Structure 1
């Protein structure tokens, strides 16, 4: 068994695996003054919203105070919002003393159109990243919208020198070639995880999948994209295969492992539970893809996240099987693909996933979750439907973009097939399936002022004072001696109760005594 891919014994706790990381760059052109007029490289940050497919022109300003942008500029009564008709301000700040994301947020709050961070050392450009997990709970992280770029120390010094002489420094940021467009179809990968207990990153990933799936499904159904989901797993070092850590976090005798969700081996779910759910999701995609409907993967993972959360102890095979069945798939096909997790052999699906993790060409090794790869380039920026859709659309040649790249006035029509896997009352023609641009959602409806309550997938029932007006509240009704009787309790309670003189369950039958 190969173990060279892993370089940390305690990968099960910290996921500290070294990989070949590629810094994504874009062009920065200084258009004035003539003394520094040239094209330079800059590194795209892993936050904010890069203007994929476009350009942005601005005037550079370097603050007299708060030069590292670690404090709110309003504390110094300094603002950088451009006046109507003026070019955006590109705020140049120095590296150091606080997170890159805080620098960007303070610049954005001050009105800057973009932020340039000047390196404080002579070195190859790096990717500015979001804080580590324990520091990633700041509310502002998901609200950063301005583009950011790291520039070299020498360029930063040159710009500062020109500004100190009173020269105006104009810069053109160009993202048009950040993503290549080799053909008329965009190919992209989403590296994800079924674990929902990893903090803010899990929460943002779950929200992204829920909101992006409608657009993803439209692009896939019309043949504009070829999408594939992927899952990261690690090898257990051969010397530790029999350890408690590897046994609780790995399947197939240490070949495929994931960290413990709670980082506590004595409670909750284990890493191997996550590996199995990841494998089940990968197998669902494989089966759906073979049936010609790969886009249903988005429904599966969205529904699983809603119906089978870890916190409610529903992160189980049984719950996953219910979701699979609701989408019209054969559970046995998925089980065949999953195989035997106790077998001392390679699992074909997970083996292929590990091989795919290794970077090729312009793409580095995938070691961080979540990660998007678009046309073999790692996406940089906010994990947000609009930002990601813009990045995917920039992968098309100009003027060949699909309509969804130009408008959001579109529905998915997923409810037309198998009612989208949602609850419905055929007799009353009521359904929980709703088509939106986000994709179909299963939400109990409001009908004629009566609100239905339930999970939207397996059941919805009328509630409130008027509930008996809709399909008799789902209760029994009948006639005896020419008089109509009902088991629906027409008040603010819910439930069915046979009327006086009758006995039964109130739902299916009531018989006169």
Structure 2
């Protein structure tokens, strides 16, 4: 019926002796139909029907309904495995009003995936929306025992950790097939490609996701390579095979035709990915299904090339990638696909078509645009989800009610509430490059450079007579501080300091003080007094003027005396010079008395020699 699934947590609340409650955690296998609430939870009460315990018939035939009563919890219907398809059980439970289906295994074995059968009616594939899961036989027996004892059993279905969500990009794979003649499954797959194509391309183009398609093939046993069955279903001498679409080897298309078309689609993706346009794969698969269907006998390589040309892609590169299907050698592309089928880590082997793998974990549920998008959205790290994950039809915005219990600035409507796929988180915001800091619940404040531009940093600010005063300063990393001339906490307000009353200034003799908003003004008694703020003193305007003129008169008189003295010295020196010159001239004509003495003396001195 299917391979192993990725387990989700199922929590059971069963009261042993009152008033104690027992909380147990169980694993389950999510059904490959319905719509699991990836990233979320669902709480309900377990009911085991009194009749139709295997849910193979409509419950209306037994007069049973499981619609919850007003104010009551949703009903999770517990049914037994066996006698009919899993999808039939899910459909009958859903039509009876159940919110989820728990199928109790009838044997002790590892849990398997409840898959959709090939021949199941369309209502089982397209209309089943309630989530379902296979639970172990032991857990099923425990639930039945508790219900038989009259206990009320509540179960919390928890899908929050069903898919990893490590970072801000989701890697996902789509294991599919180009065959369009496989009944309801193929119809569902083509419908999904048509509906999901636009979403997938937007997510890929904006870098939110990294997508890769894959195709399942198997090999023909060596002993049967030359058989008609293997030659009609396989290429490369039995190395890569697919089932015959009509299950008839004599008519219609063969399995090898499917393998070739699968190979073309893989190579197209490789070439598109190399040109950084991987989203073209969705256009090709969509257009190929419309233009080249099997039922119209157009499922050919020539038709595929026509679609490739219409997309403007390089056919030669794709043809080179495909290689020779008749060669007796490995095809490197299909060999890699076979290797990828083998599970690594928690993913498990891929055995069911179609299969989605999100962050290396297999998705289980309906192949539906909304259901798959929900699974992809659950793979993003909280607060990194793209907007499409937070739309009304995917996720309810918890920030709309009471702001999610987070901090809110009523003046600006800045909020710490961030809606994520798994619910809201309270985280102080970043507004216009300014980061707010705080606990996110009761307090957030702007910090860093530029914080005063955002709501004045949450600080007090007031304007009077054209003068604005603020308690916020960009020189401070955070917090509020009243400026000089004010006192207070800086948040709720700043009060003017009365410098005159507190006698902080204007303490000099004859000083008078007048308080102003944020400052003060000092004056001096009388109109002839001037206040010097630097020295906190008053000086006389008149005294300052007299001293100045007296000092100037001193300078004038000094200069006058200096001039007269200089003139007298000049006259004296000039007269002395004139006297000496006159005496020298007169000495040439009449010797003077002192000159004779000098001449006689010179004569005697010469005679002695």
2: distance between equivalents of 1:102 and 1:258?
29
- Aligned counterpart in structure 1 of residue 301 of structure 2, from 317, 342, 345: 317
The residue that corresponds to 2:189 in the other structure is 205
Q: Is the 8 A contact 1:22 1:362 kept in 2?
A: no
2: distance between equivalents of 1:44 and 1:261?
29
**2:287 matched to 1:303?**
yes
Deviation at 1:299, TM superposition (A): 0.3
**2:340 matched to 1:356?**
yes
The residue that corresponds to 2:246 in the other structure is 262
The residue that corresponds to 2:9 in the other structure is 27
Q: Relative to structure 1, is the Cα distance of residues 344 and 393 closer, same or farther in structure 2, using a 3 angstrom cutoff?
A: same
**2:171 matched to 1:187?**
yes
1:276-304 deviation per Cα after TM superposition (whole angstroms, max 9, x unaligned): 11111111100100000001100000000
Q: Secondary structure at the match of 1:299?
A: helix
1:456-483 deviation per Cα after TM superposition (whole angstroms, max 9, x unaligned): xxxxxxxxxxxxxxxxxxxxxxxxxxxx
Runs of 4+ aligned structure 1 residues displaced above 4 Å come to none
Q: Is the 8 A contact 1:22 1:363 kept in 2?
A: no
Deviation at 1:266, TM superposition (A): 1.7
Higher radius of gyration, 1 or 2? 2
**2:358 matched to 1:374?**
yes
Deviation at 1:109, TM superposition (A): 0.5
**2:317 matched to 1:329?**
no
Q: Relative to structure 1, is the Cα distance of residues 260 and 154 closer, same or farther in structure 2, using a 3 angstrom cutoff?
A: closer
Q: Is the 8 A contact 2:163 2:358 kept in 1?
A: yes
The residue that corresponds to 1:148 in the other structure is 132
1:480-499 deviation per Cα after TM superposition (whole angstroms, max 9, x unaligned): xxxxxxxxxxxxxxxxxxxx
2: distance between equivalents of 1:237 and 1:118?
38
The residue that corresponds to 1:245 in the other structure is 229
- Aligned counterpart in structure 1 of residue 91 of structure 2, from 105, 130, 133: 105
Equivalent residues, number: 389
Q: Relative to structure 1, is the Cα distance of residues 175 and 34 closer, same or farther in structure 2, using a 3 angstrom cutoff?
A: farther
Deviation at 1:34, TM superposition (A): 4.1
Q: Relative to structure 1, is the Cα distance of residues 124 and 331 closer, same or farther in structure 2, using a 3 angstrom cutoff?
A: closer
**2:328 matched to 1:344?**
yes
- Report the more deviating stretch, 326-335 or 301-310: 326-335
Q: Is the 8 A contact 2:14 2:146 kept in 1?
A: no
2: distance between equivalents of 1:128 and 1:186?
26
1: distance between equivalents of 2:146 and 2:250?
61
Q: Secondary structure at the match of 1:22?
A: coil
1: distance between equivalents of 2:300 and 2:205?
30
Deviation at 1:155, TM superposition (A): 2.2
1: distance between equivalents of 2:91 and 2:105?
18
1:214-265 deviation per Cα after TM superposition (whole angstroms, max 9, x unaligned): 1111111111111000111111222222222222222222221212222222
Deviation at 1:166, TM superposition (A): 2.4
Q: Which runs of 5+ in 2 are unaligned?
A: 394-609
Q: Secondary structure at the match of 1:172?
A: strand
Deviation at 1:172, TM superposition (A): 0.6
1: distance between equivalents of 2:244 and 2:78?
41
Q: Is the 8 A contact 1:33 1:170 kept in 2?
A: no
2: distance between equivalents of 1:315 and 1:124?
41
2: distance between equivalents of 1:96 and 1:342?
45
The residue that corresponds to 2:62 in the other structure is 76
Q: Secondary structure at the match of 2:49?
A: coil
The residue that corresponds to 1:365 in the other structure is 349
Q: Which runs of 5+ in 1 are unaligned?
A: 1-15, 410-513
2: distance between equivalents of 1:314 and 1:408?
41
Deviation at 1:180, TM superposition (A): 0.7
Q: Relative to structure 1, is the Cα distance of residues 340 and 408 closer, same or farther in structure 2, using a 3 angstrom cutoff?
A: farther
- Aligned counterpart in structure 2 of residue 120 of structure 1, from 99, 106, 113: 106
Q: Secondary structure at the match of 2:156?
A: strand
- Report the more deviating stretch, 362-371 or 292-301: 362-371
The residue that corresponds to 2:493 in the other structure is none
- Aligned counterpart in structure 2 of residue 86 of structure 1, from 66, 72, 81: 72
Relative to the length of structure 1, the TM-score reads: 0.73
2: distance between equivalents of 1:51 and 1:288?
33
Deviation at 1:22, TM superposition (A): 2.7
1:372-399 deviation per Cα after TM superposition (whole angstroms, max 9, x unaligned): 1111111111011110100111111222
2: distance between equivalents of 1:269 and 1:123?
39
1: distance between equivalents of 2:335 and 2:109?
37
What's the Cα RMSD here?
1.8
1: distance between equivalents of 2:392 and 2:253?
40
Aligned positions of 1:42-53 closer than 5 A: 42-53=28-39
Deviation at 1:163, TM superposition (A): 2.0
1:303-346 deviation per Cα after TM superposition (whole angstroms, max 9, x unaligned): 00000011111111111111111111121121111112222222
The residue that corresponds to 1:455 in the other structure is none
The residue that corresponds to 1:431 in the other structure is none
Deviation at 1:83, TM superposition (A): 3.0
Deviation at 1:84, TM superposition (A): 3.7
Deviation at 1:408, TM superposition (A): 7.9
Relative to the length of structure 2, the TM-score reads: 0.62
2: distance between equivalents of 1:408 and 1:333?
43
The residue that corresponds to 2:49 in the other structure is 63
Q: Secondary structure at the match of 1:282?
A: helix
2: distance between equivalents of 1:174 and 1:283?
39
Q: Is the 8 A contact 1:187 1:225 kept in 2?
A: yes
